[in-house]
A = this chain, B = another copy of it.
Amino acid sequence: MDTIMKQKVAPKETTLISREELIKQYLEVRQHTETLCKPLEIEDFAVQPSSEVSPPKWHLAHTTWFFEEMILVKYEPSYTRFNAQYSELFNSYYKAAGKHWLQSDRGYLSRPTISEIFKYRDHVDNRLLSFLNNSNELSQIHILVETGLHHEKQHQELLLMDIKYILGANPLLPSYELEAHSKNKKEKETWIPFKEGIYEVGHTGNSFSYDNEGPRHKTYIHSFSICENTVTNKAYLNFIESGGYTKPELWLSQGWDWLNNNDISKPLYWTKEGHRWVEYTLSGLQDLDLNQAVTHISYFEADAYANWTGQRLPTEEETEIFLESNSEKNKAGEVWTWTKSHYSAYPGFKKFEGLLYNGNFMCNQFVLKGGCSVSPKGHYRHTYRNFYQAHQRWMFSGIRLAKDKK
């Protein structure tokens, strides 16, 4: 699943930043996407080893397509498309007309080459910057550009998830980055209690957010405690070694089927070599770091783990309340943590007109909160609602536990 399909904004009242600031941000974000691709070989841009992954060159083209199609084509009268076929090839939206190239077949396309796509990016950047510099009536454009930049930041995270999958699925196990991050943490487990009552959740204010983050609304919360720390590889390894993957009573019925049909017995990138556990990382194969947060696990695994501990996953509201209250020493930004909440509309949610609203995905997905190590800087908010299907795990997903108050 590609996030622009998921996180399309409904324009709303946001405070406008200045033209100069907008151009500065545009240049930074667009440049950063390309910087992320520096370590790649040309072939790495083209392949698609799983239907939910996209080839990196598709991300580079699709984010550009957004600026071309949503802004230049609509608002810049003298603009002609770089290549008329790109509007179908790099469109992830319109399922309707059956005209867009199937997501699962993106890896079938050797052309346009990545070299051609970089030319496409240059072309659109030049025209857009020129348009921004010369346009008088900016407010609507402004919001669209800002949306396009948020969209591209989402794809920066997707890009890293997909690159990791592409390289990790290759038996040669190439590294993406030279140096491994040593984040050897060792912490005492801390539980934070919350009292029963009415709380508020959801986005408010004039800063940017996606439509599904609002409206801010009241919700009744029962007393609970939530763990400040996310679950570590060490703790998860205990779950495995105690036979967690062989006990159907711990698993959702669909989860047990998934596990058996796909021979799942460990997180996505773990392997056991003899008696030694190793994990594929963006720095290549590494010894499993027991103090790191466990990551690349499905909702099914997160839920089974929670059952095994006798605790439970938190709801999305509980997680948001915790994240907001804990902003100072915030553990957000490590792994996206699964919540036990299916992704649904907030009370009073208004669907955006047209095809492109978030509501289209409010079925059979679970909400994740908190951001992760590869989320772009400044992109994350506590109200942010990420969502994936229960079996997916190529994103940087982990576990935070909660429990009812005794």
Residues of chain B within 8 A of A254, CB atoms compared: 363-364
Q: How far is the CA of A109 from the CA of B166 in the complex (A)?
A: 8
Residues of chain B within 8 A of A95, CB atoms compared: 248, 253, 256-257
Residues of chain B within 8 A of A364, CB atoms compared: 254, 342, 364, 390
Residues of chain B within 8 A of A172, CB atoms compared: 85, 111-112
Tell me if A195 is interfacial: C-beta within 8 Å of chain B.
Answer: no
Q: How far is the CA of A110 from the CA of B251 in the complex (A)?
A: 33
Contact of A113 with B42 at beta-carbon distance under 8 Å, contacts A47-B107, A49-B105, A341-B344 already known: yes
Contact of A47 with B49 at beta-carbon distance under 8 Å, contacts A41-B113, A166-B110, A248-B95 already known: no
Tell me if A5 is interfacial: C-beta within 8 Å of chain B.
Answer: yes
Give the contacting residue for A348; candidates B41, B112, B222, B347; CB below 8 A: B222
Residue in B closest to A163 when the chains form the complex, CB atoms: B110
A238-258: which residues lie under 8 A (CB-CB) from chain B?
A: 247-249, 251-257
| Contact across chains for B46 and A360 when beta carbons are under 8 A apart | no
Residue in B closest to A89 when the chains form the complex, CB atoms: B171
A contacts with B, residue count (CB < 8 A): 73
Q: How far is the CA of A48 from the CA of B347 in the complex (A)?
A: 42
Task: Give the distance to chain B from A121, nearest Cβ to Cβ, in Å.
Answer: 16
Residues of chain B within 8 A of A170, CB atoms compared: 108-111
| Contact across chains for B108 and A348 when beta carbons are under 8 A apart | no
Task: Give the distance to chain B from A60, nearest Cβ to Cβ, in Å.
Answer: 13
Contact with B along A158-175 (1 / 0, CB 8 A): 000000001101111010
Q: How far is the CA of A307 from the CA of B172 in the complex (A)?
A: 38
Tell me if A355 is interfacial: C-beta within 8 Å of chain B.
Answer: yes
Contact of A45 with B43 at beta-carbon distance under 8 Å, contacts A5-B253, A170-B110 already known: yes
Q: Which of A135-143, A178-186, A213-221, A328-336 contacts B (4 or more CB under 8 A)?
A: A213-221
Write the residues of chain A forming the contact surface with B, with a CB cutoff of 8 angstroms: 5, 41-49, 57, 85, 88-89, 94-96, 101, 105, 107-114, 166-167, 169-172, 174, 198, 217-220, 222, 247-249, 251-257, 299-300, 303, 307, 312, 340-342, 344-345, 347-348, 351, 354-355, 359-364, 390, 404
**Can you list 30 A-B pairs, Cβ within 8 angstroms, ordered by A?**
A41-B113, A42-B113, A44-B110, A44-B111, A47-B107, A47-B109, A48-B107, A49-B105, A94-B248, A95-B256, A95-B257, A96-B248, A107-B107, A107-B108, A108-B170, A110-B167, A112-B172, A218-B220, A218-B222, A219-B220, A222-B348, A248-B355, A252-B359, A252-B363, A253-B361, A299-B363, A307-B351, A340-B345, A347-B404, A348-B404
